[in-house]
Amino acid sequence: MRNQIAAANWKMNLTITQAEELLNTLLQQPKQLSDHQKVVFAVPFPYLPLAKSKVDGHTNYFVAAQNCSNKKSGAYTGETSAEMLQSLGVEYVVLGHSERREYFSESHAMLAEKVNIALDYSLTPIFCCGEPLNIREAGTQNSYVEVQLKESLFHLSAEQIQKIVIAYEPIWAIGTGKTATADQAQEMHAHLRKVLSDKYGKEVADTISILYGGSVKGSNAKDIFSKPDVDGGLVGGASLVAGDFVQIIDALK
């Protein structure tokens, strides 16, 4: 079975004390995961060493950064490199979140560079894609998301693309409480898998985990994750609430 992943995206939330409390609560009696099930905490940069020390010793629990630089090293004040993340033992990095694309002008080309550099330092990119509301209303979401994949990922080899996790996050569903229906998620995920299959072949496409993100909660995770092409979720708001996130982990196939 493909990897099924519950990824928490804390965004720019919590103090260090609150972060430690949340991790302690979640990891006190962590759910025992099957080989194909993984839990990832994408925490703010300053909390990475703390989160790493908390997940260490818990099988299939990992830490992610929420971004990394497209530059290797040098005079880039305020940036964090993939190499730095690797040196902390970080395993995943969220790339191309819609908030980064919108507020920090991350382009397809810049994201392709970030994907490359993340892979160079053995980080698994969780590559986000998804359409805004006007595109969904116009019914052109499939081609919109397809372009995001093609422009930032399709330079990769078949071996490299299998190291990527994709997160489909319709922007109109992020932080709005407006979740895509399980059928809408499945429809897009199946489309993305077809696009991957057309480029890399079905065998490769079938290994790639595609997460859904957008107002996933404890109460709707099971329904969404039950769909055949939905391999878990990237979760913002609900990942800050221990009870909710535990339910989301429990909902993994």
Q: Give whichever of 127 and 200 is closer to ligand PEP, judged by the CB atom.
A: 127
| Alpha-carbon span 209 to 167, nearest angstrom | 8
Q: Among 15-23, 46-54, 84-92, 214-222, which window interacts with ligand PEP (CB under 6 A)? A: 214-222
Inter-residue contact 124 to 156 (CB < 8 Å):
no
| Alpha-carbon span 224 to 183, nearest angstrom | 8
Q: Is residue 232 a contact residue for ligand PEP (CB under 6 A)?
A: no
Burial of 95 (0-12, 13-18, 19+ CB in 10 A): buried
Strand locations in 140-209, DSSP E?
Answer: 165-168
189 is an active site residue = no
Element (H, E) at 116: helix 108-120
Tokens of 51: 């989160």
Q: Is residue 169 a contact residue for ligand PEP (CB under 6 A)?
A: yes
Q: Is residue 237 a contact residue for ligand PEP (CB under 6 A)?
A: yes
Q: Is residue 175 a contact residue for ligand PEP (CB under 6 A)?
A: yes
Inter-residue contact 52 to 89 (CB < 8 Å):
yes
Tokens of 150: 């093609």
Q: Is residue 216 a contact residue for ligand PEP (CB under 6 A)?
A: yes
Question: Contacting ligand PEP (CB under 6 A), which of 5, 119, 145, 235?
Answer: 235
The catalytically annotated residue of 91, 131, 169, 189 is 169
Q: Is residue 188 a contact residue for ligand PEP (CB under 6 A)?
A: no
Q: Is residue 170 a contact residue for ligand PEP (CB under 6 A)?
A: no
Tokens of 36: 């194909």
CB of 220 to ligand PEP, least distance (A): 11
Question: Contacting ligand PEP (CB under 6 A), which of 125, 170, 214, 218?
Answer: 214
97 is an active site residue = yes
For the segment 3-42, give every residue that binds ligand PEP (CB under 6 A).
9, 11
Q: Among 25-33, 69-77, 79-87, 236-244, which window interacts with ligand PEP (CB under 6 A)? A: 236-244
Q: Is residue 231 a contact residue for ligand PEP (CB under 6 A)?
A: no
Q: Give whichever of 60 and 98 is closer to ligand PEP, judged by the CB atom.
A: 98
Sign of the alpha-carbon dihedral angle for 180, 247, 190, 182: negative
| Alpha-carbon span 27 to 244, nearest angstrom | 14
C-alpha distance from residue 53 to each of 48, 49, 89 (Å):
9, 6, 10
Active site residues per annotation: 97, 169
Interacting residue ranges for ligand PEP, rule: CB under 6 A: 9, 11, 169, 174-175, 213-216, 234-238
